[in-house]
């Protein structure tokens, strides 16, 4: 934040502040290195994971790139200033300022000081009648920074308060956005059912939560990545038959589908006489609506999912077997395309208005 101060010697107490050293110095640069990594990561992550917009959302590159560039400038400035002011200090008294650098001492008499500026790089610029001097404010301890600034008279205190409120608001919004997108990507997300492909288990207008912890996180396809990465080792368990899952179908990257997992890797899958056979045994499917036919919308697709399910893939079918665009249409589904498991049904407008809550709760 940029601020301007007057040097009023009569109101200044003698004070001395040392540049951070040792452990505090190491922690300072470690913390800022981690911040820089988080800036870059958050930019790349938000571009492909921010909800409610078509991704990749290119404007995030420009916003995040600008913020990252400013942070890099500040970081480089801190390094350069530390080399120059290693074991240095600043002393303040009514007669002026004394800046101690690594190899020299600069004395600035009070009458020569026009004003003092706190700039966006984190430095104090002492504007003098015949030039200027710079001191690395950020390389002081947090308490020392606040105490040093309090010695000077703010030239625009009302503006400073406004800027601080704006900064705090923007900072809170950005942090909340980043946290929210991570929660949606890795923990839980709300979904709406627009079609009848899962009737009668899920109906049009149902609102549900999908949890993303059971199968492990899916890292979205960020720049320099060829595809999303499913970190299955961080999951609670593997996908099972009967799980209702949300996924990106291979034929439509911009939409999310919800279906039931019927066969997992290694299963022998067949559809015969309107029934599903797993490992040559007919399975009981009380949730099915209609007849299970070996074909659906895609001509020539009916034989693609007959046989042993390959590693890393599953067969998914809608419960409404006569009105579902599922594995009978797009073939096997890669497990890494699965975003999460249907968890809780919490709302259906038509039922709520009728005071019918019989279907709400865990989804099975």
**197 is a catalytic site residue:** yes
Report whether 245 contacts 259 (CB < 8 A): yes
R_g over Cα of the chain: 31
Starting at the edge strand that comes first in sequence, how are the strands of the sheet with 105-109 ordered?
Answer: 15-18, 89-93, 96-100, 105-109
Catalytic residue, candidates 259, 313, 339, 341: 259
| Three-class secondary structure of residue 300 per DSSP | coil
Q: Token pair for residue 332?
A: 């096997």
Among candidate residues 286, 267, 238, 237, the one with its CA nearest the CA of residue 327: 267
Beta bridge partners of 317: 260
Catalytic residue, candidates 42, 197, 324, 327: 197
Report whether 208 contacts 194 (CB < 8 A): no
Neighbours of 19 (CB within 10 A): 24
**Who's near 76: CB < 8 A, 6+ residues apart?**
none
Neighbours of 162 (CB within 10 A): 11
H/E run at residue 36: helix 22-49
Its sign, for the CA torsion 77, 79, 80, 84, is positive
Active site residues: 197, 259
């Amino acid at each position: 934040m940029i601020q301007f101060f007057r040097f009023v010697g009569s109101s200044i107490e003698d004070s001395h502040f040392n540049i951070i050293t040792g452990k505090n110095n190491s922690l300072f640069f470690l913390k800022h290195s981690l911040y820089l990594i988080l800036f870059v990561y958050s930019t790349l992550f938000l571009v492909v994971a921010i909800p409610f917009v078509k991704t990749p959302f290119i404007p995030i590159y420009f916003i995040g790139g600008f913020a990252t560039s400013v942070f890099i400038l500040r970081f480089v400035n801190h390094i350069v200033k530390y080399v120059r002011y290693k074991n240095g200090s600043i002393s303040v008294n009514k007669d002026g300022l004394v800046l101690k650098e690594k190899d020299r001492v600069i004395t600035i008499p009070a009458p020569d000081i026009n004003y003092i500026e706190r700039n966006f790089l984190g430095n104090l610029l002492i504007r003098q009648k015949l030039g200027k001097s710079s001191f690395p404010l950020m390389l002081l301890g947090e308490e020392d920074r606040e105490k040093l600034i309090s010695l000077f008279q703010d030239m625009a205190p009302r503006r400073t308060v406004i800027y601080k409120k704006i900064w705090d608001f923007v900072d809170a919004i950005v942090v909340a956005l980043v946290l929210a997108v991570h929660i949606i990507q890795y923990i839980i997300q709300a979904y709406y059912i627009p079609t009848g492909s899962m009737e009668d288990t899920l109906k049009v207008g149902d609102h549900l939560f999908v949890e993303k912890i059971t199968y492990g996180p899916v890292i979205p396809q960020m720049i320099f990545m060829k595809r999303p990465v499913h970190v299955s080792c961080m999951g609670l368990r593997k996908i099972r038959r009967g799980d209702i899952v949300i996924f990106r179908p291979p034929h439509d990257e911009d939409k999310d589908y919800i279906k039931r997992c019927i066969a997992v890797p290694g299963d022998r899958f067949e559809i015969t006489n309107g029934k599903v056979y797993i490992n040559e045994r007919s399975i009981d499917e009380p949730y099915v609506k209609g007849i299970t036919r070996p074909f659906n919308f895609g001509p020539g697709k009916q034989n693609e999912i007959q046989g042993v399910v390959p590693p890393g893939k599953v067969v998914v079918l809608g419960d409404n077997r006569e009105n579902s665009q599922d594995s009978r249409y797009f073939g096997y589904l890669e497990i890494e395309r699965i975003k999460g498991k249907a968890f809780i049904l919490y709302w259906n407008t038509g039922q709520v208005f009728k005071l019918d809550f019989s279907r709400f709760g865990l989804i099975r």
